[in-house]
Amino acid sequence: MTDTLSPPRRASRERSDRGRLRSGDATPRVVDAEPGEDPRIRDRRRSVQADRRRRRRAVLFVALAVVVLVASAAALSRSAWFDVDRIVVDGPDGIDRDELRQASGIDRGDAMVDVDLAAARRSIMALPSVASARVEREWPGTIRVVFHAESPLAVLAGGERRVLIGRGGRVLAELAQDDPTPEGLPTVTVEDPSAVSELEVGSALPESLSSVVVVLEQLPEPLRSRSAGVTLDAGGNLSMALRADPAVDGSDGTVELGPADELASKLLAAASIVAGARMECLDVLDVREPSRPTISRDRGCDPGPPTVGATTVPARTEPDGNARTADPRSGRTSTSTTTATRRTAAVSTTTAPGSTRRGSEPGAPG
pLDDT for 82-125, tens place per residue? 889 999 999 998 889 999 999 999 999 898 888 999 999 999 99
Examine the domain organization and report whether 178 and 309 are in the same domain: yes
Last residue of a domain, one of 29, 58, 77: 77
- Of 70-74, 162-166, 229-233, 292-296, least confident by mean pLDDT is 70-74
- Looking at the domain assignment, is residue 357 inside a domain? no
Cβ-Cβ contacts under 8 Å for 218 (sequence gap 6 or more): 263, 264, 267
Q: What's the domain count of the chain?
A: 3
Closest CA to 99 of 75, 77, 128: 128
- Of 30-34, 243-247, 252-256, least confident by mean pLDDT is 30-34
Q: Is 23 exposed, middle or buried (0-12, 13-18, 19+ CB in 10 A)?
A: exposed
- Looking at the domain assignment, is residue 365 inside a domain? no
Examine the domain organization and report whether 172 and 237 are in the same domain: yes
Residue of 11 and 56 predicted with greater confidence: 56
Distance CA 218, CA 225 (A): 13
**Long-range Cβ pairs for the range 354-360 (8 Å, 24+):** 355/309, 357/292, 359/311
Examine the domain organization and report whether 174 and 65 are in the same domain: no
Query: Is residue 222 within 8 Å of residue 271, measured between CB atoms?
Result: yes
Examine the domain organization and report whether 100 and 196 are in the same domain: no
Examine the domain organization and report whether 182 and 86 are in the same domain: no
At 365 the pLDDT is 37
How many Cα neighbours within 13 Å face the side chain of 167? 12
Confidence label for 295 from pLDDT (cuts 50, 70 and 90): confident
pTM of the predicted model over 0.95: no
DSSP class of 114: G
- Of 46-50, 299-303, 351-355, least confident by mean pLDDT is 351-355
- Of 143-147, 169-173, 219-223, 231-235, least confident by mean pLDDT is 219-223
At 24 the pLDDT is 53
- Of 67-76, 84-93, 167-176, least confident by mean pLDDT is 67-76
Examine the domain organization and report whether 157 and 297 are in the same domain: yes
Question: Mean pLDDT for the chain?
Answer: 76
Examine the domain organization and report whether 183 and 279 are in the same domain: yes
Average pLDDT over residues 239-263: 79
Examine the domain organization and report whether 197 and 265 are in the same domain: yes
Examine the domain organization and report whether 223 and 236 are in the same domain: yes
Partners of 255 in beta bridges: 240, 285
Query: Which structural domain range is residue 325 located in?
Result: 152-343
Average pLDDT over residues 150-170: 91
Distance CA 12, CA 15 (A): 5
Cβ-Cβ contacts under 8 Å for 256 (sequence gap 6 or more): 237, 239, 284, 285, 286, 287, 288
Euclidean distance between the first and the last CA atom of the chain, given in angstroms as a whole number: 128
Confidence label for 247 from pLDDT (cuts 50, 70 and 90): low
Q: Is 306 exposed, middle or buried (0-12, 13-18, 19+ CB in 10 A)?
A: middle
Max Cα–Cα distance, the chain, nearest Å = 152
- Looking at the domain assignment, is residue 361 inside a domain? no
CA distances from 348 to 100, 139, 264 (A): 61, 74, 27
pLDDT at residue 324 above 50? Answer: no
Task: Give the CATH number, domain containing residue 286.
Answer: 3.40.50.11690
Q: Is 147 exposed, middle or buried (0-12, 13-18, 19+ CB in 10 A)?
A: buried
Q: What is the DSSP string of 115-135?
A: --HHHHHHHHHTSTTEEEEEE
Closest CA to 187 of 166, 162, 218: 162
Examine the domain organization and report whether 168 and 271 are in the same domain: yes
pLDDT at residue 136 above 60? Answer: yes
- Looking at the domain assignment, is residue 314 inside a domain? yes
Confidence label for 273 from pLDDT (cuts 50, 70 and 90): confident
Examine the domain organization and report whether 59 and 172 are in the same domain: no
pLDDT at residue 280 above 60? Answer: yes
Examine the domain organization and report whether 195 and 228 are in the same domain: yes
- Of 91-105, 233-247, 339-353, least confident by mean pLDDT is 339-353
CA distances from 227 to 187, 223, 240, 255, 271 (A): 10, 6, 7, 10, 11
